[in-house]
Amino acid sequence: MFGLTFQGDWGKIPEGIAPITMDKYRILPHTADGKFQAYGATLEEAFANAALAMSSLMWDWSKVEPGVRHFVHVRGIDREQLLVKFLGETIYLFETKQFLLAKVDGLRIRPEFEGFSLEAVLGGDTLSDRYELFGDVKAVTYHELKIEKCDGFTVQVVVDM
């Protein structure tokens, strides 16, 4: 399989125990658009890693200083719509406030009477000369969108570039 893989940060491992890491995401080949899979032990972690994966198509999120914070709250009729709206919100913040995502904190998904809600705090910085842009995600699509549960969760997303 082709793609870039980034290791998760799971904190301090007790002495004598082999570290177990999970990839945050993998960028997949696609003919015209951007495609990735994001992983997490929980659905919330997979959604957060999907935001980082999408950001990695536009800038190096690991080099962004998380001094600016934005609270996001979205609702969806199902988990797929919730993911599309959440990722769309990060695009909106970039387009309207030049916000570069660096991390996702406190992401919570809750069932509601008619679907799901998501709340999170996004940490990042405002675009400046310190950062390099190398791509432009225009929209999140439902094409090939998947949310799967096995050993944790995997989400797959295709975005228009």
pLDDT computed for residue 23 by the predictor: 87
Please report which helix (H) or strand (E) contains residue 33, including its range: none
pLDDT tens digits for the chain (161 residues)? 334 443 444 333 344 433 444 689 999 988 889 999 999 999 999 999 999 999 999 999 999 999 999 999 999 999 999 999 999 999 999 999 999 999 999 999 999 999 999 999 999 999 999 999 999 999 999 999 999 998 899 999 999 99
Measured distance CA(10)–CA(152) in Å, rounded: 15
- Which residue(s) pair with 26 in the sheet? 5, 37
pLDDT computed for residue 13 by the predictor: 36
What domain count does the chain have?
1
CATH of residue 22: 3.55.10.10
* Two tokens, residue 95: 């387009």
Tell me the C-alpha to C-alpha distance, in Å, between residue 150 and each of 2, 3, 7, 39, 84: 21, 21, 19, 11, 21
Tell me the C-alpha to C-alpha distance, in Å, between residue 86 and each of 31, 83, 108, 151: 25, 5, 12, 23
pLDDT computed for residue 1 by the predictor: 37
CB contact set of 53 (below 8 Å; sequence gap of 6+): 24, 25, 26, 27, 36, 37, 38, 157
* Two tokens, residue 86: 């959440």
Cβ(7)–Cβ(23) below 8 Å = yes
Domain that holds residue 44: 5-160
pLDDT computed for residue 4 by the predictor: 41
Measured distance CA(133)–CA(153) in Å, rounded: 29
pLDDT computed for residue 74 by the predictor: 98
E runs forming strands in the chain: 5-7, 23-28, 34-40, 68-76, 99-112, 115-126, 139-140, 146-150, 152-160
Neighbours of 147 (CB within 10 A): 18
* Two tokens, residue 77: 């009729």
pLDDT computed for residue 35 by the predictor: 96
